[in-house]
Structure 1
């Protein structure tokens, strides 16, 4: 799973964008300098991580067949790794993290250890990663010969001491209010919902919230490395998983063997996380227009107009219809954004989204209802969606300080919405609980090179909406000796699993041999989808 915002994940106040980054927009919170107390706490946590890793190395993982209801077929195996809730108290309360693996497909001599994966979020589960082997994902066939594929549920996610902020069934009920406010009363209503959601997080998961940070998840990752019996970590991170990897590389540079980061969050402390979401809105608008251009060029298939302006007019007409009366009684503007945002996220969604849109304009309302409406009968899916959203909120709100003044939020998002309306307000409401967050809010780590850090391979498309290109450039500067592979004039989020030999061969070479090009590389885009 690469998608960090599945379509069913709707906050009670609207739909959401993704995770995030790009050039900075002024007007938020600067990262404070570390105090003596925070340095002392960090030292205690660093020592706690050493203790937890040593303990995990001794315990290992008791691998067994996965529980039947986890959907992970043999020969995938599952197990648990124990980590402290608070690394400053490594002998205190522990939680169990779910992990799974599939052994390398090559010979014992070909094996190079475990490749651990994080798909993003925060809030995404990596437990499906071993299925890239069982489902014969050709792009990963050569790497699978050398590595065990290992996935895990990060703290708070899925099977790993899951947290919650709302009743799952209430969370997904439709319809939601239009994320784009018409009046001050609309904004007041959304602010009330955001406060209620933050309060729900505190009431349902308060004991965990202060420890739901990227720093702690990076420490968890090192404990998992130790439990796997690996002296050094091989890591693949996508989207938010790139920020997790950047923090891990900063905290544990000597524990890394190889790391690929794909679709990169800008790791600057000033960007995490308020500015990141603002900057994301700009990038989403650009990629949305790319999709509209493609739809217009393929009007023979979709009949939505031969120009971008014509396609946009159909979109605005659809939004107005849904706002006046939810389509099928269940699809309002928020549900529309949650469904349509997958098009600027992933090229693989271009055809499905355009097809549904075209059918609706041709008179098939049910196709849109089937695609965009939440499924209230999917109890397990709704629990997973609510949990994923809770983790997203908890990590972003806990990682750093957020603006507490509504005036700041209103000013910045009103300004952006004028030119970038597709995601701006939906993204604002998604993150507004952080303005009234009651849990502890930390200071992001300064991501940079420390002694022992190996060469890191960075992969990024130039038109990525969820994690814009400047984030990859920034991480490249911070991690000395890294190499940047740029997929030019492409914008799908998550590049390494797409078919593009220029990228696939370099990723394989790096993971299998450790070799990288002597300089950065620019690749032509992967194939454009065809109707």
Structure 2
């Protein structure tokens, strides 16, 4: 595996983001009337004006244009590269929107973020949210997305070439001796050095706090007094950070697949490792009940042992894939974890494991490639680069060096007998980061914010359910909605109960009752 804390929406939603591409028509830039009881707050509750030093940014006008995807418009937002030096260099951020379709009074803009960090919000909007969110929500909101600084179209972080990234993803992440440990450390160092070389000026300024401040500029430029927002996975941390910085500007915030901002990098990585073990347990229970399960027809525990045996075999003798890249333990582990994000990928994983155990690894390699967003031509999107850049700024590193990682392996293996060792060593990546961390673990209360809806899935692999419980408890106005199910995030995944609760909150501002559970 690569950088830990890769938090994003399910594979289904991400796959959809690349499918709906065609010509696009323009539209008027004039804002539709707002509901005076929602976006337009009462005078006594109106947020404070923008700081004097940032008035140029808060007062800018977006030049909307056709952007090549039917029904969507695009624009460029300007923000300070360094908020401590607003008169210094600027950063330019890619924005897209689709106007409220009606009928009904327009509520305002609904900003969406799919997680990552490093996921393209613009791709998510144009490929999924802007056409796939419930029609009553799209009728009353302009659906809007901004690629966060350092991501996709917004001055992206770059680190390695395609061949360099291929080599990086194949490095053994369960070192058995000093030579393998040195090779793993060297791979993390080369990754960090590549990021510094290719993205020197932007690299120290892609933190979640800075992105949240960019979102407030966008809110103002769009003409909304309060931010309405749906953030999935890492997007929940971004939304909670916004609420912490601007509690008086919080509108309707949905935080789906929540992170816990109070945890250290080590605890986040270990908790997420346990989450993947929980998800694998659900997959394994389903698999062993089938006569063609490649991991046997015994128990979920015996299936885990069979998978570990396969990983060890792939470590000793990588599996051919029909191309120059071989399927070693690292890529095999990544392929399995990729399928944990969405239970609809379980049949694909069973087939891929059957073939890989039989000596043909191309299907499992394809799953790993989807996780890393490797393109057919061998290039990579900047997802993994931005993921590391944001994570390594947001929290101090989990370890000071490889000795710390080695000491942590037993606790990770306790959290996950199947994935623990590899994920313990993967958390070493930020140790060598060239930009010093600017964030620290802390509780977020967002005192004075309007009601915020936190959503947690009980068997979520990437954002364990207890993180949602913790965040809802921390937020002074947080309400927890529980989805008893599998997969990563809950909105739009087939539960009418979940979708109705979230839609009602977005359309009426009324969160579900405390303790509401859905299946």
Superposition TM-score, scaled by structure 2 size: 0.83
Cα distance, 1:194–1:187 mapped onto 2, change above 3 Å: same
1:124, 1:388 within 8 Å by CA — same for their partners in 2? yes
Provide the rounded CA distance (Å) in 2 between the counterparts of 1:419 and 1:519.
Answer: 30
Cα 1:276/1:293, change in 2 over 3 Å:
same
Residues 306 and 161 of structure 1: CA distance in aligned 2, closer, same or farther (over 3 Å): same
1:212 equivalent to 2:234? Answer no
Do 2:106 and 2:141's aligned partners in 1 also have CA atoms closer than 8 Å? yes
1:286 is matched with 278
1:274 aligns with 2:270: no
Map 1:384-395 onto structure 2 (within 5 A).
Answer: 384=381, 387-395=382-390
Q: Could you tell me how far 1:215 is from its partner in structure 2?
A: 0.8
Aligned-pair Cα RMSD in Å: 2.9
Moved more, 495-504 or 435-444: 435-444
Q: What is aligned with 1:110?
A: 105
Residues 52 and 83 of structure 1 are in contact (CA less than 8 Å); yes or no, is this contact kept in structure 2?
no
Alpha-carbon contact 1:339-1:372 (below 8 Å) kept: yes
Contact 1:133 1:141 in 2 (8 A): no
User: What does the per-residue CA deviation read over 1:447-504, in whole Å, with 9 as the maximum and x for residues that have no partner?
Assistant: 433453000011111121211112111211221232111112x231111121101111
Go from structure 1 to structure 2 and tell me whether the alpha carbon gap of 1:367 and 1:449 turns closer, same or farther (over 3 Å shift).
closer
CA-CA distance at 1:232 after TM superposition? 1.0
1:94 aligns with 2:90: yes
Deviations 1:226-257 (A, max 9, x none): 22221111011111111111110000011111
Shift in CA distance, 308/494, structure 1 to aligned 2, threshold 3 Å: same
Matched with 2:13 is none
User: Matched residues in 2 for 1:19 and 1:370: separation?
Assistant: 18
Pair 260,480 (structure 1): closer, same or farther in 2 beyond 3 Å:
same
* Counterpart in the other structure of 1:322: 314
CA drift at 1:317:
4.0
Alpha-carbon contact 2:7-2:117 (below 8 Å) kept: no
Q: Quote how far apart the aligned CAs of 1:314 are.
A: 3.9
User: Greater shift after overlay, 77-86 or 375-384?
Assistant: 375-384
Shift of the alpha carbon at 1:290?
1.5
* Selected match of 1:162 from 148, 151, 156: 156
List runs of 5+ in structure 2 lacking aligned partners: 9-47
Residue 63 (1) aligns with residue 56 (2): no
In 1, Cα distance between the equivalents of 2:461 and 2:361?
A: 28
Q: For residue 261 of structure 1, give the secondary structure of its aligned residue in structure 2.
A: strand
Residue from 189, 196, 204 that aligns with 2:183: 189
Alpha-carbon deviation of 1:313? 4.4
**2:40 aligns to what?**
none
User: Is it true that 1:147 corresponds to 2:148 in the alignment?
Assistant: no
Give the match for residue 455 of structure 1.
Answer: 451
1:174-185 → structure 2 map (5 Å cutoff)? 176-185=170-179
Q: Tell me, yes or no, if structure 1 residue 512 matches structure 2 residue 507.
A: yes
Contact 1:461 / 1:487 at 8 angstroms: preserved in 2?
Answer: yes
Residue 478, structure 1, aligned to residue 470, structure 2: no
**Which digits, 9 at most, give the CA deviation of each residue in 1:170-194, with x for residues without a partner?**
1124871332222233222212222
> Alignment partner for residue 229 of structure 1, among 223, 232, 237?
223
C-alpha distance in 1, partners of 2:127/2:289?
33
Q: Does the 8 A contact of 1:263 with 1:494 survive in 2? A: yes
Aligned-partner Cα distance in 2 for 1:245–1:469: 18
Is 2:259–2:468's contact at 8 Å kept on the other side of the alignment? Answer: yes
Partner in structure 2 of residue 83 of structure 1: 79
Answer yes or no: is 1:351 the counterpart of 2:347: yes
* Deviation for aligned residue 1:55: 2.7
Distance 1:452 1:16, change over 3 A: closer
User: Retained in 2: the 8 A contact 1:175–1:330?
Assistant: no
Match of 1:239 in 2: 233
Compute the displacement of 1:424 (Å): 3.0
Cross-structure match for 2:125:
130
Structure with the larger RCO, 1 or 2 (CA within 8 Å, 6+ apart): 1
CA separation in 2, counterparts of 1:163 and 1:369? 25
Segments of structure 1 that go 5 or more residues without pairing to the other structure are 1-13, 22-46, 525-531
Q: Are the equivalent residues in 2 in contact too, given 1:115–1:148 (CA < 8 A)?
A: yes
**Cα distance, 1:371 vs structure 2:** 4.6
Aligned equivalent of 2:255: 261
Q: Which moved more, 1:255-264 or 1:402-411?
A: 402-411
Conserved in 1, the CA contact under 8 Å of 2:5 and 2:268?
no
**Would the aligned equivalents of 2:352 and 2:364 in 1 still touch at CA under 8 Å?**
yes
Q: Which residue of 2 aligns with 1:433?
A: 429
Count the aligned residue pairs: 474
Closer, same or farther: CA 302–181 of 1 in aligned 2, 3 Å? closer
- What pairs with 1:24-39 in structure 2 (closer than 5 Å)? none
Secondary structure of the 2:511 match is coil
Cα distance in 2, alignment partners of residues 65 and 316 from structure 1: 50
Partners of 1:471 and 1:106 in 2: how far apart? 36
Q: State whether residues 16 and 338 of structure 1, in contact with CA within 8 Å, keep that contact through their aligned partners in structure 2.
A: no
Distance 1:366 1:482 in 2: 45
CA distance in 2, matches of 1:97, 1:307: 50
Distance 1:373 1:225, change over 3 A: closer
Give, in whole Å, the separation in 2 of the partners of 1:306 and 1:65: 56
Q: Is the 8 A contact 1:20 1:277 kept in 2?
A: no
Q: 1:147-204 deviations in whole A, cap 9, x for unaligned?
A: 1111121000111011112223311248713322222332222122222222222222
Name the CA distance, whole Å, in 2 between partners of 1:458 and 1:112: 21
Once residues 48 and 201 of structure 1 are traced to their aligned partners in structure 2, the CA distance between those partners, rounded to angstroms, is 37
SS in 1 for 2:430: helix
